[in-house]
């Protein structure tokens, strides 16, 4: 499915906009790349003009390798007008968790988000339920509402609609791979 490839990092050939051409594979078997890419883009947009946003992850080795590959791909897109944040993406670092206790705050946010989504799924409520309790407290001070988003049906539909506006309809496509 081309949408899944696109959402997990596949690149569209800008010379073929409207004709749909994916020139990289993305990573459709790894769904964490969609929120990962969103976090990178959201964070990088806050870097000052001419500045870079550097990233520190307390990740296991396999994910660190995937993340390095995604950073290479993002940095290769600095001339893409659809990706203005790419020029602000700095380096990725992978320090040991015991040396960076501040990363545990991000882990806590991730854990609370996961628990919230599991509870919503269990209750059959995958609509647009707002966070509550500690998750609401952690997300209340975000700068922009879109800085923290659930990847639910509505969010995915909006993201797909944006790709239609930017790149044309995904249906009836011809894929080009290199």
User: Quick one: pLDDT at residue 54?
Assistant: 92
Q: Which residue did the predictor score with more confidence, 40 or 167?
A: 40
Rounded to the nearest integer, the mean pLDDT of the chain is 76
Of 17-31, 32-46, 57-71, 115-129, give the range with the top mean pLDDT. 32-46
DSSP 52-98: -EEEE----HHHHHHHHHHHHHHHTTTT-TT-GGGGGEEEEE---GG
Reported as a pLDDT band with limits 50, 70 and 90, residue 175 is: very low
User: Quick one: pLDDT at residue 48?
Assistant: 92
Q: Which pLDDT tens digit goes with each residue over 150-160?
A: 777 777 777 77
**Gap between the Cα atoms of 10 and 173, Å rounded:** 15
Q: Could you tell me which residues are beta bridge partners of residue 56?
A: 93
- Looking at residue 129, the DSSP 8-state letter turns out to be P
Each domain of the chain, given as residue ranges in start order, spans 2-100+142-167
């Amino acid at each position: 499915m081309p949408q899944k490839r696109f959402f997990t990092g596949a690149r569209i050939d800008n010379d073929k906009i409207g004709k749909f051409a994916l020139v990289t594979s993305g990573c459709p078997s790894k769904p964490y790349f969609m929120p990962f890419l969103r976090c990178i883009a959201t964070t990088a947009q806050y870097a000052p003009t001419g500045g870079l946003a550097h990233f520190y992850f307390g990740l296991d080795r396999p994910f660190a390798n995937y993340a390095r590959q995604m950073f290479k791909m993002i940095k290769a897109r600095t001339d893409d007008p659809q990706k203005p944040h790419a020029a602000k993406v700095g380096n990725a670092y992978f320090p040991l968790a015991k040396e960076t206790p501040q990363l545990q705050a991000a882990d806590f946010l991730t854990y609370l988000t996961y628990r919230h989504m599991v509870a919503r799924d269990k209750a059959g409520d995958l609509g647009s339920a707002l966070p509550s309790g500690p998750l609401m407290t952690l997300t209340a001070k975000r700068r922009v509402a879109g800085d923290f988003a659930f990847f639910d049906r509505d969010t995915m539909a909006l993201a797909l609609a944006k790709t239609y506006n930017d790149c044309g309809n995904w249906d009836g496509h011809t894929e080009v791979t290199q």
